[in-house]
Structure 1
Amino acid sequence: MSKKRTGGPELNPRQIRVLYCVSREYISSGKPVSSKQVLEHSNLKFSSATVRNDMRKLEFLGYIYQPHTSAGRVLTDKGFRFYLDSVRTITDDLQESNVAIAIRQTSIVGDVEHLLQGMTRILARAVSGFVVIEKPKFDSLLVNSVAISKITDGYLNVSIVTDLGVSLNTTVFVGTSDFDISSFQKYVNMAVVGKTIGEIRKGIKNVELRYDQWHDRRLQDIIHFLQSIFEKEDEEKYYKYGLEFIISNDHLDSSDISGLVKSVENPRNLELLLSSFGEFDDYRVFIGDEVGRDELKNFAVFASPYTRKNEKIGYVFIISPKLTYYEKINAYLSFSINRLSEVFSNR
């Protein structure tokens, strides 16, 4: 495995090696690192005085700091970023790992709901973090069929099946309208099958659906019916799992845990947090202050989109303490993204 050693132009090769060793030791132990520990737990052949001087330089440049006078050094956000960049090119051989096998087995599942739920749980356990997988964006889904059935007087159950296997189920109130469900289902399918949900929403607004030669009353019923289904925003856009791993982490205090729980405890708060990272087309990592919330300053957020034939259809997020094995999360996230993109591209 090759390691890409990075660091600003202010660091010489020796200081980069010292910083890498400090990073590895701190991430492994979670405790402040002294120059003595750096020499004991590495193959560096420098004197203790040289390592101490380099650590002072690294502290001056903002990569590490001393939490109190009697302690060693710990990483700053800049130091964590250095470590992430150092290990980003490391790709562990995951092909035969238990996690990789579980992910591949989950990928075979035909039902998208079970696929994404399973992937969320496997990934959370593998990285000991909180994982969020966004459902495929509704507007990009192509409608294959619509099934309508009566629940009770005035209420219909509607099940919409899309090309990716994602099903949308909802209950619609139609009041005292008296019409033949079989015939109505036929007309609804004629109107929407073969269109994306985004096109249907746009069509509803512009009243430009197919078969617009229908009687005005029939067209009005269809439009109102479709509005009640497709103009709803899905309240549960994400699958999420893994808070128990955060709660049991020894390197977080109660305020850290409380801050995360408040940020993800309900769909609205979770949406506000994840949308704050904006749109992006490739792998991103936000460390500490980069997360943008003081209550999450001790966390890192790893994120990447998954695609269908190069079309971005959703995101995977991993929220972890920033004191973590970045190379491990990099590898598992990359593997999961590749499997999801492969599955959806082949549907």
Structure 2
Amino acid sequence: MASSDERRFAVLRAIVADYVSSQEPVASKAIVERHNLGVSSATVRNDMASLEEEGYIAQPHTSAGRVPTDKGYRLFVDRLTEVKPLSGAERRAIQLFLEGAIDLDDVMRRSVRLLAQLTRQVAVIQYPTLSHSTVRHIELVQLTPARVMLVLITDAGRVEQRTVDLGDVITADNVSRMRNMLNATLVDNPLTEAAAKASELIEDAPSDLRDAMTRLATVLVESLVEHPEERLVLGGTANLTRNAADFPGSLRQVLEALEEQVVVLKLFAAARAPGTITVRIGEENEAAEMRSTSVVSIGYGAHQTLLGGMGVVGPTRMDYPGTIAAVRAVANYVGDILSGR
């Protein structure tokens, strides 16, 4: 870029930094005083006029300074060469906090709480998607002579539990036989393939276990199918209310949209590989209710296998470098924990 373009970008960067910090429109005098740009106030005013003409900044009302537009934030984010690194203490705190989790549910709850605290935004995390998981183990726990608890455990630590009425009294030895058949056939299979193999177990079952296996396989196939309504955890919604001025007339719409899990799931639709950050700013969001927000999201997983997505939702007036660093760090630790590294 030409030096004049670089200088104008430096002015834009200063406006973004000051506006994110103060929530007040930024004037040329303030830029000259707070940022060592090495140019005169007249040059800054000329650069601001050019930025406004190009749609990167706007004047909210007469005699006010300037604020970044969605287009201005987009240029700022696209040209981020450095993301504010987390301190060693922050990284250690994240690691210790998440490693203290006792199971997958606890990992999800801790992750969303931690991300909300680090970014002071609304944090969202998607449970590991079943379509990318494999069967680690299937357990049958006899509850009564004719009823068992079917427990499906995936390689990502997700646990599905269902009670199955076997229709007749069955011995502990036969429960053990069925448990062995299920594990021998399904363990280490992707869940999409395991569903088909579970159906085949009915035909392969001994005649004395066929009825019980039919009931088990039917419930198991249901467990192997995705349940989108069970896959999200949100935290830090109250953070939006502290920045109500950033959502003039639209905060209620944003909060209602966050309650619609279908809307939130679409925020992760672009996630294709672990570690890839996506930033959607204002009008770039598909849902009309979310167009006063910015969404920073990332896929998490292990060994380039995408397990799910996570991210934060907040106003367009956001600390993008700090938010991106926090989202990336938490995603990395969650991927490591779920992969057992």
TM-score grouping bracket, smaller chain normalisation: 0.7 to 0.9
Q: 1:178 to 1:293 in 2, by over 3 A?
A: same
Once the two structures are TM-superposed, the CA of residue 300 in structure 1 deviates from its matched residue by 0.6
Once the two structures are TM-superposed, the CA of residue 240 in structure 1 deviates from its matched residue by 1.6
In 2: Cα distance, 1:14 partner to 1:326 partner:
21
Match of 1:16 among 9, 27, 30: 9
Residue of structure 2 in register with 1:87 after alignment: 80
Deviates more, 1:12-21 or 1:187-196: 187-196
The letter of the residue matching 1:21 is A
In 2: Cα distance, 1:153 partner to 1:137 partner:
34
In 1: Cα distance, 2:130 partner to 2:84 partner:
33
In 2: Cα distance, 1:70 partner to 1:153 partner:
81
> Are 1:134 and 1:314, in contact at CA under 8 Å, matched by a contact in 2?
yes
Match of 1:40 among 17, 33, 44: 33
In 2: Cα distance, 1:171 partner to 1:11 partner:
69
Residue of structure 1 in register with 2:45 after alignment: 52
Number of residue equivalences: 333
Q: Does 1:193 align with 2:184?
A: no
The letter of the residue matching 2:55 is G
Once the two structures are TM-superposed, the CA of residue 318 in structure 1 deviates from its matched residue by 1.0
Listed as ranges, the gaps of 5+ residues in structure 1 are: 1-7
In 1: Cα distance, 2:203 partner to 2:87 partner:
53
> Are 1:141 and 1:196, in contact at CA under 8 Å, matched by a contact in 2?
yes
Residue of structure 1 in register with 2:224 after alignment: 230
In 2: Cα distance, 1:185 partner to 1:274 partner:
44
> Are 1:130 and 1:319, in contact at CA under 8 Å, matched by a contact in 2?
yes
The letter of the residue matching 1:16 is F
Deviates more, 1:178-187 or 1:136-145: 178-187
Residue of structure 2 in register with 1:129 after alignment: 121
In 2: Cα distance, 1:20 partner to 1:193 partner:
53
Match of 2:19 among 6, 16, 26: 26
Residue of structure 2 in register with 1:78 after alignment: 71
> Are 1:287 and 1:322, in contact at CA under 8 Å, matched by a contact in 2?
yes
In 2: Cα distance, 1:274 partner to 1:29 partner:
28
Residue of structure 1 in register with 2:105 after alignment: 113
Q: Does 1:179 align with 2:173?
A: no
Q: CA RMSD in A?
A: 2.8
Residues 242-268 of structure 1: per-residue CA shift (max 9 Å, x gap):
101111225334633212211121444
Matches for 1:1-347 after TM superposition, within 5 Å: 12-97=5-90, 100-109=91-100, 110-149=102-141, 156-172=148-164, 174=165, 176-180=167-171, 183-184=174-175, 186-191=177-182, 192-204=186-198, 207-209=199-201, 212=204, 214-215=206-207, 216-217=210-211, 219-231=213-225, 233=227, 235-253=229-247, 255-271=249-265, 273-274=266-267, 277-281=269-273, 282-346=276-340
Q: Quote the sequence identity (%).
A: 26
Deviates more, 1:106-115 or 1:142-151: 142-151
Residue of structure 2 in register with 1:3 after alignment: none
> Are 2:292 and 2:315, in contact at CA under 8 Å, matched by a contact in 1?
yes
Q: Secondary structure at the match of 2:128?
A: coil
Once the two structures are TM-superposed, the CA of residue 155 in structure 1 deviates from its matched residue by 6.0
> Are 1:251 and 1:323, in contact at CA under 8 Å, matched by a contact in 2?
no
> Are 2:130 and 2:226, in contact at CA under 8 Å, matched by a contact in 1?
no
Deviates more, 1:191-200 or 1:113-122: 191-200
TM-score (ref. length: structure 2) = 0.86
> Are 1:262 and 1:269, in contact at CA under 8 Å, matched by a contact in 2?
no
Listed as ranges, the gaps of 5+ residues in structure 2 are: none
In 2: Cα distance, 1:155 partner to 1:252 partner:
55
- Answer 1 or 2: which has greater helix percent: 2
Q: 1:194 to 1:17 in 2, by over 3 A?
A: closer
TM-score (ref. length: structure 1) = 0.85
Deviates more, 1:152-161 or 1:36-45: 152-161
Q: Secondary structure at the match of 2:192?
A: helix
In 2: Cα distance, 1:132 partner to 1:88 partner:
26
Q: 1:312 to 1:229 in 2, by over 3 A?
A: closer
Residues 138-164 of structure 1: per-residue CA shift (max 9 Å, x gap):
133333333334567976433222333
Q: 1:217 to 1:296 in 2, by over 3 A?
A: closer
In 2: Cα distance, 1:102 partner to 1:46 partner:
42
Once the two structures are TM-superposed, the CA of residue 119 in structure 1 deviates from its matched residue by 1.4
